[in-house]
Structure 1
């Protein structure tokens, strides 16, 4: 809306982890403003509502165990909430500490989640075979989150500049306040050694705040999404063909397949109509940036 009243703001931007993998923190910020400008939006002032930073790690032999997590000594239920543990087949699959809109840490098996939710492009990012046994080689995502209340009350953050100034400190404070420990020695918790998994997560999260990129090119994710969509549509076509055979009361599958192939060929002969259908699919699927660039930057 054309209004200077903050209550009248009506644009909210949410960034997915995939975009951050591809373009990094600074790159994503630049792309946000490019797209807002292309939409004709007038950006008067930003207000950061939530910040999530995450890294994905594989460490052979590592198991997530609630008893090995150390929380801040001053934690209270109102500040950090109870530990939420999710198990699958007797193994801990995820642990969440804290509550939004405060500060929160979530450690979970991203490999399993990617398979369940069919976000299979992550396997291209990791360079892993999605058909391998995920229970033996999990990919653990360590995600630290700052909600609106924590940003405003604890970090005094509303703008990009304020966020940039405190982001490294936020990572450091959070990763030092919560720890995963290795071997417990003695009664003094502060002397228990931090697990190498947590050291690695801390180091990589700090690298994000320093602007380091993952080195993943967009083509790897796009090709992965295309492959998943291809498999999905092929499965749908087979299912529809089986239904059609029942409707036609025929078990002559080769003839049915030949008839369908001929119908597809006939439809494709009308090139303008076929291209129009493909363009509609391209807009609907949105698996590349090409449509956006053609429509808004021509």
Structure 2
């Protein structure tokens, strides 16, 4: 496997791009570079994990690092993540026992529909040694006439215990993570079929506010405090860890006339997040079908690329000095020139087409393909 990855990495470096590799049925996007002490870095897409591999060394038993994103966890759940790891390692020919796994970080997130919610950093109660970082943005100033809105608050450190509360709706829009609308609306439909669906419409920002409450357990908290290292220990103890995090860090509701924040009751948002944590963390997932979510991503890419092609074509027309009435003929002429370029360089075009297909292979696969992999 190392020899295979070494040869493919060299090809990725020569082509100066991520390349699609297939090792015994395991498809990954291999980067042309390593990082953080790992020789190879590869991604299985949103329905897989990000894998990092070291060069084999008998003195270093920890040769692989992997992580799952929130999309995988929301759609598939923790149990599926464990099964995916074991299936991929088997395909790669890598043998391991239960003590050969060391979990270095685990996050638990709850997305809450909170119309009109205003995040106020001073309403957090935590240990005096825990640091707090606030992020303020004015991205909605043009829509709501507001500026200086706090969109996220982070409590604690990444190596130990950390809690983050932030405007997930704004983050989804800023980073074009359109699949979250499908996940959220699937959940809303399960709650009640008559509920209005969420949308990225700026005019609905306040009514569609989605706040994410996220608890992160870093290496020190997992291993040193809770003795969590293996899968079995994670399944057994992580729920208790999260429950404790919701108690030692709190977002509260002020009590008029009482300046002691420690006596303030928990905010309804915090109560809802902690209530979700009391459910079965091991298999909590949205239940949304990943195939329609992939279709949404494909459609978004197609629409974005079409707008880019159209905008570039109009710009070319402007540089060529054509008028509005002449644009249709100009676009037709551009299409003829493109066809001529394809005819002149068929090999180059075929390579470009194949590279594009490889780049988007994971949003073109169905869930059945993932199961087979």
- Give yes or no for TM over 0.5: yes
1:13-51 Cα shifts (integer Å, max 9, x gaps): 110000011101101221122223334444451111111
Flag structure 2 segments of 5+ consecutive residues without an equivalent. Answer: 1-54, 138-146, 186-197
Match of 2:200 among 102, 127, 130: 130
Matches within 5 A, 1:132-171: 132-133=202-203, 135-136=205-206, 137-171=208-242
Return the alpha-carbon distance in structure 2 between the equivalents of residues 217 and 54 of structure 1. Answer: 19
Return the alpha-carbon distance in structure 1 between the equivalents of residues 75 and 111 of structure 2. Answer: 14
Judge conservation of contact 2:290–2:367 (CA < 8 Å) in 1.
no
Matches within 5 A, 1:198-213: 198-207=270-279, 209-213=281-285
In the alignment, which residue of structure 2 is the partner of 1:286?
361
Give the match's secondary structure for 1:57.
strand
Segment drifting more, 171-180 vs 222-231: 222-231
Give the match's secondary structure for 2:363.
coil
Judge conservation of contact 1:3–1:9 (CA < 8 Å) in 2.
no
Judge conservation of contact 2:117–2:209 (CA < 8 Å) in 1.
no
Q: Which has the larger share of strand?
A: 2
In the alignment, which residue of structure 1 is the partner of 2:115?
60
Segment drifting more, 178-187 vs 87-96: 178-187
Give the match's secondary structure for 1:163.
helix
Return the alpha-carbon distance in structure 1 between the equivalents of residues 315 and 233 of structure 2. Answer: 58
Give the match's secondary structure for 2:288.
coil
Match of 1:91 among 146, 149, 154: 149
Q: How many residues align?
A: 290
Give the match's secondary structure for 1:172.
helix
Give the match's secondary structure for 1:207.
coil
State the shift of 1:208 in Å: 5.0
TM-score using structure 1 length: 0.84
Ranked by relative contact order (alpha carbons within 8 Å, sequence separation 6 or more), the top structure is: 1
TM-score using structure 2 length: 0.68
Segment drifting more, 15-24 vs 147-156: 147-156
